[in-house]
Amino acid sequence: MLLYDYHRSTAAYRVRIALELKGIAAQRKEVDLLHGEHVRADFLRVNHQGLLPALALDDGAVLTQSLAIVEYLDAIRPEPRLVPEDPVVAAQVRSVALMIACDIHPLGAPRVVAHLKERFHATEDEIGAWRRKWQLGGLEAVEEAIRPGPYCCGQDVTLADVCLMPQLYSARRFEVPLDGFPRILAVEKACEEHPAFHAAHPARRSSREQE
């Protein structure tokens, strides 16, 4: 497998966590978002959406969309299960994951921020206020959805945690205050102590190409 990755990409970070949790080895190719490598012809041939991550399988198939990729990994290597079998818990896990992946993350994506700057001449202060509004509002909903832990949806790591930790990395990077979210902070602490989350962290994935 080859993961098209960018160390700071929160969507790619989800897939890195899932690979680590499942002990699946993948080669990694860094596609530099800052330098626009994701919209160059060679990467658009991999993912015509021009978004990270993408996962190329050994048979040539290419998977895109981080949640679809994580669910694929869950299907081929069910242990540990990231989407539990119980239908109610599975829906709760997906609900938290989608709150983050659909309702928070896209509003701070580089293409959205670039458009705010280019089309609406937003200043850095305005961009900061924009990020805080959508992250704080979204995390309020996540805080309410979290069930007794130590993880988002109980005693096991799930897709919800796989989505939450990268979003918290982004929140901290852009100085979004998290002190009003005690349940989220407790989950963050539990995940930080888990070796898979530690190994997948952007700080440990910043060189251009790695095994």
Q: Which residues bind ligand GSH (CB under 6 A)?
A: 9-11, 33, 38, 51-52, 65-67, 101, 109-111
3 state DSSP class of 115: helix
φ and ψ of 142, to 5 deg = -65, -45
CB of 148 to ligand GSH, least distance (A): 28
**Would you say 36 or 180 has its CB closer to ligand GSH?**
36
Q: What is the DSSP letter of 146?
A: P
**Would you say 47 or 154 has its CB closer to ligand GSH?**
47
The rounded distance, in Å, linking the Cα atoms of 111 and 198 is: 28
**Would you say 92 or 167 has its CB closer to ligand GSH?**
167
CB of 192 to ligand GSH, least distance (A): 20
**Would you say 63 or 154 has its CB closer to ligand GSH?**
63
CB of 125 to ligand GSH, least distance (A): 21
**Amino acid (one-letter) located at 99:** M
CB of 38 to ligand GSH, least distance (A): 5
**Would you say 154 or 166 has its CB closer to ligand GSH?**
166
The rounded distance, in Å, linking the Cα atoms of 202 and 211 is: 15
Helical H segments across 47-175, by residue range:
66-76, 87-103, 110-120, 124-145, 159-173
Q: What is the DSSP letter of 202?
A: G
Query: Containing H/E element for 74?
Result: helix 66-76
**Would you say 38 or 131 has its CB closer to ligand GSH?**
38
CB of 106 to ligand GSH, least distance (A): 6
Q: In what order do the strands lie in the sheet with 54-56?
A: 62-64, 54-56, 2-5, 27-30, 209-210
CB of 89 to ligand GSH, least distance (A): 22
Q: Work out the burial of residue 167: count CB atoms within 10 Å of its CB; fewer than 13 is exposed, 13-18 middle, 19 or more buried.
A: buried
209-210/2-5 β-pairing? unpaired
